[in-house]
Structure 1
Amino acid sequence: MNKPRQSMAGLWNISFGFFGIQIAFALQNANVSRIFQSLGGEIDQLAFLWIAGPVTGLLVQPIIGHYSDRTWSRFGRRRPFFLGGAVLAALALFGMPHAGALLTAAIMLWLLDASLNISMEPFRAFVGDMLGRDQQTAGYAFQTAFIGAGAVVGSLAPELLNMAGVANTAPEGVIPPSVRYAFYSGAAAILIAVLWTVVTTREYPPEQLEAFAGPASPEHEGRIVAPANGPLWAVAGVALTAAVYALGLDKAVYVLGGALIAFGLARVAARSMAAGGGRNALVLINSDLAQMPPTMRRLALVQFFAWSALFILWIYTTPVVTQMVFGSTDPTSAAYNEGADWVGVLFASYNGVAAIGAFLLPWLAGRIGKVRTHVFGLLCGAAGFATILVTRDAHLLLLAMVFIGIAWASILTMPYAILAGSLDPRKYGIYMGLFNIFIVVPQLIVATVMGAVINAFFPGQPVWTMAIGAGVMVLAAAAMLRVKEA
């Protein structure tokens, strides 16, 4: 049984909530490093302070995916998660500019990122729920367009407010008014946009979704797989933690060691529960992770490299541009804040390119295939990072943003369009959540390791992070060549 085709208005309504979610993400990505530096954070601390994002994503997305697959209420299956996450994110956006200390700001970032993940993860599965496979590439392209448009608005907000006369400087330890009012606006935007999708869409009831899905494939008929490698992961985490202590490595790497230990212990617990007949969330999530389709496994490596580069971009563009192009490392100076505002313009530019490019991707994929389309996009991303590395003119950096915008459009569209065609529809939520593990794990690694790399090899020269970003984008393109389209 095929799902009804959606009109353009239907595609719009299904994905419009992403517009508000991305306004919030853009405000976070373009301004959190600025907030941390305004509150006294040093450049080599930024990656560690950003660690809230990947840790919350690692925990939240698989859990939300698991439960959203199994939820049905009078408000639907995915929509309760959209709305609950949006309300929490709005509260975090309102509170973050009032953080008076680094620790408070890091806690608010943790809450904001967890809330955005609660809203965002079910939106990925929502496209699979609502659209037939012949429309899924278009559906994810619509999401990408709204992500790009929302990011333009969020990235430009402080600069536009400054142009309207709102001050973009403040005394040490105080968040500039332009940033504060931009965050207030973002809180309103995410609520309005998500409410639009909640009100204008009606989800298919469970019995209709079951009819659309057809007979279950054998691997989804209740088989539980409990891998025995949990102790190995835990031992690796202990070894890494011991190495940090013995060699005097950056203390941020303790977080990575702790994450490995926690993952190993979770696998041990899940195996023990499964042996006793348990079928709780921990057992089922571990089992689904062990039974990932082959296409998802190959795409996971691509995501790992691509999102490592993106996290480098979001953390280090502000210190790179303010230092190398605007000549200042003092967060209280006019030159630094002018450079930080220009980063907002740059981020808006690459997201604007992505919003337009999203509608060209289905056309290109129809001619050269989804895999080659994504390889092209990733190589454009590598060219963008290389351009930032060698450019010292503010306006020439816009060329780098064109390349990165093409990559961003492809990263947000093509992996999901390829993945959706390889999944059992009954598992969209959990597998979209597990797929995002391979987005947040590289972010966790970058957040814990990159500060140590800068201190050891490039002290006071964060610009070299852009060379690393270019290299891992090339690795992502190479890994994509192993992926086969369904």
Structure 2
Amino acid sequence: MQKRKLGFWEIWNMSFGFLGIQMGFALQNANVSRIFQTLGAEIEDIPILWVAAPLTGLIVQPIIGYFSDRTWHPKLGRRRPYFLVGAILASLALFVMPNSPVLWFAAGMLWIMDASINISMEPFRAFVGDNLPDSQRTKGFAMQSFFIGIGAYVASKLPNILTYFGVANVAPEGIIPDSVKYSFYIGGAVFFIAVLWTVIKSKEYSPDEMKAFAASEKKDFVKEVRSENWYNINGSSHLKNGVIVLLVGLISTYFIYMYDMKKDLYVLTLGLLSFGGLAMILSGLMQKNNNYQNGFVTIMNDFQTMPKVMKQLAWVQFFSWFALFSMWIYMTPAVTEHIYSTSDTTSHLYNQGANQVGEMFANYNIIAAAVAFLLPILAKKTSRKFTHFLALVAGGIGLMSIYFISNPTSLNLEWLPMIGVGIAWASILSVPYAMLSGALPASKMGYYMGVFNFFIVIPQLVAASILGFLVSKIFDNHPVYALFIGGVSMILSGILTLRVSDK
């Protein structure tokens, strides 16, 4: 028994929801730093305010993936209930975010908004793996990349479009301009409508059919029967490693405190190391006490035994998403400070530069949409990993080039650097997932896609931790250097792609 090949419009319908999801995501990426600065945030504080976004993904995505693998609703299926709930919550958050009265409220809304977007977004990756045969998965992820590009292009241009039609782009100190507010309202409405379209127009295979497909393809993992002794030994290993990681985190935190280093570094030492150490200790204690028949231990052990291809792609994802996060955090302050020579958020010049960043983000996304369907062709003629390598090198060069721009014309700033970034973005959104999905068991597709998000989230947390320190202490508060570091990171990611064992 094999999955049938879907027609163009069927793949279109099952991917259409990403148009709305990416509009919400792009509005967040292009405007949240602007909102934070408008509400009084200093440049060196922006990364720590952004930490809510990756942290929610770290927590939400594997949980949603784990439960969506085990969900079946007679009408909505396995993944679509999560699409719908996430869309409702995210749309409401998009309406509230630009009305934030103070900085702490905006930071909290970013947390809620990103969690809601993640609830919808995570199952979409598994949706392609569920519904399409191997031969169509690259095409399926490319279709998602197309909608991501179109949605992000429109969302990034919305403030400029509304400004053109007379909506105010400048506001008094501490007030979000109307051009930004109305952009978020439009994005919230489109988010809900696009996801609802996919929910109504798509179907899913039942659990029995998925089991039959896995048996036919002989690709699913054989259910492992692990003895009590195995869990006891594994628990001891988790316990020992967890204590080591926790101690490293606590000692590092002590040194940050003693030497009065930048507080952003606490995200790395307390958030990643200490929390990770505690999770391993808890997993170890539960397994040693024969309490291993639960979701938490299953998640910890599956993370430990993930497929080889996934481990190799983890390093590729780490460095490419570190680069992207540096761009999303610092593009607005870098362009306004390095090219427009201003950080006054009430000035016309600052808001002109901020709108130009919106144009830059729009352009890299329309480039991504344009090349999305060319990537499978290039991958077929060469290989998927070589295609990803070329795309990431192009993106790294694009990011680094912003340092050398002094004349902010449309061609110099809005297009030339963004062509490379757009090619990289299209590949990042499709090629790693196509390589990964063929190596995953159908019964754990959602969970492993959620775990794969760790390697998107962890580099963002690292970026939020160290970039503020580097910019303030080493680069004298010139944020353009964060973009240069991001470019180097993306090129390194491309080199690491060449070692992935993709078949």
TM-score by structure 2 length?
Answer: 0.95
Tell me, yes or no, if structure 1 residue 264 matches structure 2 residue 277. yes
Query: 1:200 maps to which residue?
Result: 201
Query: 1:468 maps to which residue?
Result: 485
Report the secondary structure of 1:429's partner residue: helix
Query: 1:363 maps to which residue?
Result: 377
Q: Identity, % of aligned pairs?
A: 49
Tell me, yes or no, if structure 1 residue 309 matches structure 2 residue 323. yes
Tell me, yes or no, if structure 1 residue 254 matches structure 2 residue 266. yes
1 CA distance for matches of 2:196 and 2:284?
40
**Letter matched to residue 287 of structure 1:** N
1 CA distance for matches of 2:432 and 2:225?
27
RMSD value over aligned CA atoms? 1.2
What pairs with 1:102-121 in structure 2 (closer than 5 Å)? Answer: 102-121=103-122
Query: 1:417 maps to which residue?
Result: 434
- Once the two structures are overlaid, the 10-residue window that deviates more, 194-203 or 220-229, is 220-229
2 CA distance for matches of 1:157 and 1:222?
54
Query: Displacement, 1:268?
Result: 1.4
Tell me, yes or no, if structure 1 residue 174 matches structure 2 residue 186. no
1 CA distance for matches of 2:136 and 2:225?
29
Query: 1:384 maps to which residue?
Result: 398
2 CA distance for matches of 1:233 and 1:10?
47
2 CA distance for matches of 1:72 and 1:327?
55
**Letter matched to residue 41 of structure 1:** A
Contact in 1 for aligned 2:56/2:111 (Cα 8 Å): yes
Q: 1:166 to 1:217 in 2, by over 3 A?
A: closer
CA deviations over 1:409-444 (Å, ceiling 9, x no partner): 111111000001111111110110000100000000
**Letter matched to residue 311 of structure 2:** R
1 CA distance for matches of 2:355 and 2:131?
39
**Letter matched to residue 97 of structure 2:** M
Contact in 1 for aligned 2:220/2:440 (Cα 8 Å): no
Report the secondary structure of 2:345's partner residue: coil
Tell me, yes or no, if structure 1 residue 221 matches structure 2 residue 246. no
Q: 2:453 aligns with which of 416, 436, 443?
A: 436
Query: Displacement, 1:221?
Result: 3.1
Q: 1:337 to 1:328 in 2, by over 3 A?
A: same
Query: Displacement, 1:218?
Result: 5.1
2 CA distance for matches of 1:216 and 1:157?
45
1 CA distance for matches of 2:176 and 2:483?
27
Query: Displacement, 1:222?
Result: 5.2
Query: 1:47 maps to which residue?
Result: 47
**Letter matched to residue 58 of structure 2:** L
2 CA distance for matches of 1:99 and 1:278?
44
1 CA distance for matches of 2:244 and 2:496?
26
Contact in 1 for aligned 2:54/2:458 (Cα 8 Å): yes
Query: 1:448 maps to which residue?
Result: 465
2 CA distance for matches of 1:375 and 1:220?
35
2 CA distance for matches of 1:193 and 1:318?
28
Query: Displacement, 1:118?
Result: 0.7
Q: 1:284 aligns with which of 298, 302, 305?
A: 298
Query: Displacement, 1:252?
Result: 1.5
Contact in 1 for aligned 2:98/2:181 (Cα 8 Å): yes
Query: Displacement, 1:236?
Result: 1.8
**Letter matched to residue 463 of structure 1:** V
1 CA distance for matches of 2:265 and 2:294?
31
Q: Which runs of 5+ in 1 are unaligned?
A: none
Q: 1:365 to 1:70 in 2, by over 3 A?
A: same
What pairs with 1:5-84 in structure 2 (closer than 5 Å)? Answer: 5-74=5-74, 75-84=76-85
- Once the two structures are overlaid, the 10-residue window that deviates more, 331-340 or 259-268, is 259-268
**Letter matched to residue 154 of structure 1:** A
2 CA distance for matches of 1:56 and 1:171?
32
2 CA distance for matches of 1:443 and 1:20?
23
**Letter matched to residue 382 of structure 2:** I
CA deviations over 1:337-356 (Å, ceiling 9, x no partner): 01101100100000000001
Query: 2:242 maps to which residue?
Result: 230
CA deviations over 1:256-288 (Å, ceiling 9, x no partner): 222221111111112222231422121011011
**Letter matched to residue 388 of structure 1:** I
**Letter matched to residue 43 of structure 1:** I
Alignment size in residue pairs: 486
1 CA distance for matches of 2:264 and 2:485?
19
- Once the two structures are overlaid, the 10-residue window that deviates more, 48-57 or 217-226, is 217-226
**Letter matched to residue 224 of structure 2:** E
Query: 1:457 maps to which residue?
Result: 474
Contact in 1 for aligned 2:163/2:169 (Cα 8 Å): yes
2 CA distance for matches of 1:94 and 1:321?
27
Query: Displacement, 1:254?
Result: 1.2
2 CA distance for matches of 1:382 and 1:244?
31
